[in-house]
């Protein structure tokens, strides 16, 4: 059995190259071929040389796979135990990575949807209220009473106008407190993303793992 110690940083750097190395070793030769009994060569090489190369390539690929699996396993176990502090909250490294790759993505989607809904609702309210509403109120009075001239409006007509405006005014129905939640989410996302990469880099540089295979 081979046992060695390395930092998580070194392990991750090696893992980045392992897939290509394994693929190269696997594809370097055929492991089994059909060959006529009378042929003394395979692809221009003596049969014995082909066999040596096939065995060597198989051993190399197998060793690389075992090493890759052992390094990956050690990193996964380390990430599940090693702790980092991000924005005052403690996470395991695995939790921090999951949060960075997935949790924050969903928080950002929620923030984007809140912002889009809030802006759309506010724009619609602004469009329907103000001068546009005043114009509709005047048209309503003219249809109802034959005039919308303020000088000719009785108290009854003025009240009808006010009632129309109140009933037709657009308001935001905002049960979640969108603006407040947008501010909170934006701060949480920014604070986490500012610190997570540095925290993970420090943890990876300082944390030592044992690789056995």
Please list the residues that pair with 42 across neighbouring strands: 45
pLDDT at 134: 83
Domain boundaries, the chain: 3-83+208-212, 92-202
pLDDT at 167: 86
The full 3-state SS of 136-163, as one line of letters, equals HHHHHHHHHHCCCCHHHCCHHHHHHHHH
Rounded Cα–Cα distance for residues 104 and 60 (Å):
40
Rounded Cα–Cα distance for residues 111 and 186 (Å):
7
Rounded Cα–Cα distance for residues 207 and 194 (Å):
21
Helices marked H in 35-168: 47-81, 93-98, 104-128, 131-145, 155-168
Rounded Cα–Cα distance for residues 21 and 68 (Å):
10
Tokens of 97: 């990575």
Phi, psi for residue 9 in degrees, rounded to 5:
-60, -45
Rounded to two decimals, the pTM is 0.73
Instruction: Classify strands 45-46 and 41-42 as parallel, antiparallel or unpaired.
Output: antiparallel
pLDDT at 152: 60
- Can you give the pLDDT of all 213 residues of the chain as single tens digits? 899 999 999 999 999 999 999 999 999 889 999 999 999 999 889 999 999 999 999 999 999 999 999 999 999 999 999 999 999 999 999 999 999 999 999 999 999 999 999 999 999 999 889 888 888 888 877 777 666 565 666 777 778 888 888 888 999 999 999 999 999 999 999 999 999 999 999 999 999 999 999
Q: Three-state SS for 44?
A: coil
pLDDT at 62: 97
Structure confidence by residue, pLDDT tens digits, 62-78: 999 999 999 999 999 99
CA separation, residue 84 to residues 8, 30, 109, 187, 190 (Å): 14, 47, 25, 20, 17
pLDDT at 135: 86
Rounded Cα–Cα distance for residues 157 and 80 (Å):
73
């Amino acid at each position: 059995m081979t046992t060695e110690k390395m930092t998580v940083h070194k392990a991750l750097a090696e893992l980045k190259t392992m897939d290509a190395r394994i693929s190269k070793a696997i594809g370097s030769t055929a492991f089994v071929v059909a060959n006529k009994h009378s042929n003394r060569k395979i692809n221009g090489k003596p049969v014995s040389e082909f066999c040596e190369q096939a065995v060597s390539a198989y051993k190399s690929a197998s060793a690389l796979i075992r090493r890759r699996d052992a390094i990956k396993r050690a990193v996964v176990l380390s990430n599940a135990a090693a702790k980092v502090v991000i924005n005052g909250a403690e996470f395991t490294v695995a939790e921090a990575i999951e949060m960075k790759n997935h949790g924050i993505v969903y928080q950002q989607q929620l923030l984007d949807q809140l912002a889009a809904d809030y802006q759309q609702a506010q724009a619609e309210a602004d469009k329907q209220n103000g001068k546009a509403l005043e114009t509709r109120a005047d048209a309503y009075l003219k249809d109802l009473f034959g005039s919308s001239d303020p000088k000719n409006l009785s108290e009854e007509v003025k009240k009808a106008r006010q009632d129309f405006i109140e009933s037709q005014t657009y308001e935001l129905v905002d049960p979640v407190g969108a603006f407040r939640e947008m501010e909170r989410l934006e701060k949480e996302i920014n604070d986490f993303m500012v610190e997570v990469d540095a925290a993970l880099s420090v943890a990876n540089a300082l944390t030592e793992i044992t690789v056995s295979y």
